[in-house]
A and B are shown apart, each in its own frame.
Chain A
Amino acid sequence: MTQKFWQEEFETLSRNDLEKLQVERLNKTIESACASPFYRELYKQKNINQGSIKSIEQIRELPFTTKQDLRENFPYGFLTLPKKDIVRLHSSSGTTGNPTVIFHTKHDLESWANLLARSLFTAGVRDTDVFQNICGYGLFTGGLGFQYGIERLGALSIPAGAGNSLRQIKLMRDYGTTAAHAIPSYLGRLYEVFEEEGMDPKKDTQLKILVIGAEPHTDAQRKRIEEMYGVRAYNSFGLSEMNGPGVAFECENQNGLHIWEDCYVVEIVNPDTLEPVPDGEYGELVMTTLDREAMPLIRYRTRDITRFIPGDCSCGRTHRRIDRITGRSDDMFIIKGCNVFPMQIEGVLMKIPEVGSDYMINLETMNGNDEMVVEVEVKKDWFRGDIRRLDNLTKTITRQIRDEVLAKPIVKLVEAGSIPKSEGKAVRVKDNRKNGLVD
């Protein structure tokens, strides 16, 4: 009999048993969280006792954790263990302010790799596949996260890294890549390079599975990718605070992402009232880690907007499905796979005396690529009529924004006074992207 699940004993647990497991693990998580300075203090204040959770609904009695909490307790305020037990960190980008950093023990990395292997298996990847990870390695979780997951699954991994389309194509053809992971906007660009080279990925590669994630996309965009490459494309969801990729994944039904409830408690709340929304309605995703030692997070507000898809899935997995992410309850946006807060851009510009602090970010699709165009006003008094000085300024701003958010912007200098002044809540981001639907 062919294996249907990666871990049948967890993936098909009855809801009742799954919730029992969650309660047990949540109590353990609260206990270990209380070894961290942050939760020790917070739970003392709120009078929360260890082992007090009897049913999973009681999680609502616990306070939320926010990104702000992570930043304020940077770097070690959430650690439950001494540094000798910690073996890796992943961190958000940023040269200004405190980045978001997540620490892992050996156990945490193993648990994460297992969830990724389970996710890939769910999407149909097997140990016979050749898997090309087209994704930046380093502090970004998409590189190493997938790497360890592919290895755990037993497929042949190609740690290709991001960009360099010609090399990606050569790797695919040399080694007969059958499965790959990339951000959806890049796959549009890569297809163009295939065409420029007179190739058709449907005929000239052996690809059959693409895993797409790290960037919101529509179902239409997925279908277009499937047509371009002649593959099935599966939606992957994760966030660095919850390890990274491997949090929720689509099965062969491609109808929502199973979110691994043996390792996370998943809630969807109204972002204004913070009360749970009825099943099937959209709200903010709130998550609790159940299998992380170094840095448990309890009721973490992800700011991602989604909903539970009602009903059971015919694949046999009992873990609920969330819908693709439709937006954010804050002003973060994702470009080239990088999470960007407009405040980061503002922070960079404020330190450059030649420009004003008013700015506009236009997200555009240009030549098949999604680009972040940042419009900046040149200060009137700084202008000397010299083109090279302006060119150098453009380069400086480009480099500094890139260092801050990791995505390279297109910086456009504009005349002083042409950007609306920041009064109250000025709109700083305009998203004109075509969602991969370019002809």
Chain B
Amino acid sequence: MAYIVSIFLENKIGHFERVTTILKENCINIRSMAINDTANGWGILDLITDDPQKALDKLSEKGVSVALRKVIALEMLDDVGGLNDLLIELSRAGINFNNAFGRIVQERKTAILVLSVEDYEESLAKLKSHGLTILDDAKVYGN
């Protein structure tokens, strides 16, 4: 079961950097990131790190609003049509997701798609019954 690190971030100079500084000082590696901006002056920063629990603890200690969120990670090909093939599978399995981002594991070979879903257990069951393999944590975190 993989987790991403979600951080409440005001859209102000220096706020993102404050987060990366804490991660750097604690030797936490960011494997992938995305920011969802809102029109309200804040956004959510989502991170895949090599150690989500440690990232949570360290950021929280410094007063950052941070949470871990369960995600589903799936493998895809890093090639033309790789994401498309995977999405076809997901449609067939009847999976809906709110948020997604990806990262490359090995250039031109494999990549990872990370999904946030409304109902985690149900989605997991659907994926399994369609023979899709959920990636293990080590692979998601790149350990």
Contacts and interface: CB of A to CB of B under 8 A. Distances in A.
A414 B68 CA distance: 19
B110 to A, nearest CB: 26
Given A378-B8, A385-B46, A416 B40 contact: no
A417 B42 contact: no
Nearest to A385: B6
B67 A383 contact: yes
A416 B36 contact: no
Interface in A408-439: 411-418
Of A380, A391, A416, chain B has the most CB atoms within 10 Å of the CB of: A380
A413 B43 CA distance: 10
A378 B67 CA distance: 13
B17 to A, nearest CB: 14
Interface in A341-385: 378, 380, 383-385
A1 interface: no
A385 B38 contact: no
B40 A412 contact: yes
A64 B64 CA distance: 50
Contacts of B55: none
A302 interface: no
B75 to A, nearest CB: 24
A385 B67 contact: yes
Contact of A417 (B6, B7, B40, B63): B63
Contacts of B78: none
Interface string B39-69: 0111010100000000000001001111111
A414 B40 contact: no
Nearest to B99: A387
A433 to B, nearest CB: 19
B76 interface: no
- Secondary structure dominating the interface of A: mixed
Given A415-B9, A415-B10, A387 B15 contact: no
A282 B3 CA distance: 63
B66 A383 contact: yes
Contact of A384 (B15, B46, B63, B69): B69
Contacts of A380: 60, 63-66
A415 B38 contact: no
B69 A385 contact: yes
Contact of B40 (A383, A386, A413, A418): A413
B44 A416 contact: no
Contacts of A416: 63, 65
B38 A387 contact: yes
Contacts of B15: 415
A411 B69 CA distance: 26
Interface string A386-416: 1100110010000000000000000111111
A391 B36 CA distance: 13
Nearest to A384: B67
Contacts of B41: 412, 414
Contacts of B42: 390, 412-415
Of A390, A412, A416, chain B has the most CB atoms within 10 Å of the CB of: A390
Of B6, B10, B65, B68, chain A has the most CB atoms within 10 Å of the CB of: B65
Contacts of A385: 4, 6-8, 44, 46, 66-69
Contact of A383 (B4, B8, B46): B8
Contact of B65 (A387, A411, A412, A415): A415
B73 to A, nearest CB: 16
A418 B40 CA distance: 16
Contacts of B67: 383-385
Contacts of A417: 63
Of A384, A411, A413, A415, chain B has the most CB atoms within 10 Å of the CB of: A415
Contacts of B64: 380, 415
Given A378-B8, A384-B69, A394 B40 contact: yes
A375 to B, nearest CB: 9
B10 A414 contact: yes
Contacts of B4: 385
Interface of A: 378, 380, 383-387, 390-391, 394, 411-418
Given A384-B67, A385-B67, A390-B42, 9 more contacts: A380-B63, A384-B6, A386-B69, A387-B38, A391-B38, A414-B10, A414-B42, A415-B15, A416-B65
4 A-B pairs closest in CB distance = A385-B6, A385-B67, A383-B65, A385-B69
19 contacts: A378-B65, A380-B66, A383-B8, A383-B66, A384-B67, A385-B8, A385-B44, A385-B66, A386-B69, A387-B36, A387-B38, A390-B8, A390-B42, A391-B40, A394-B40, A412-B40, A414-B10, A415-B42, A415-B64
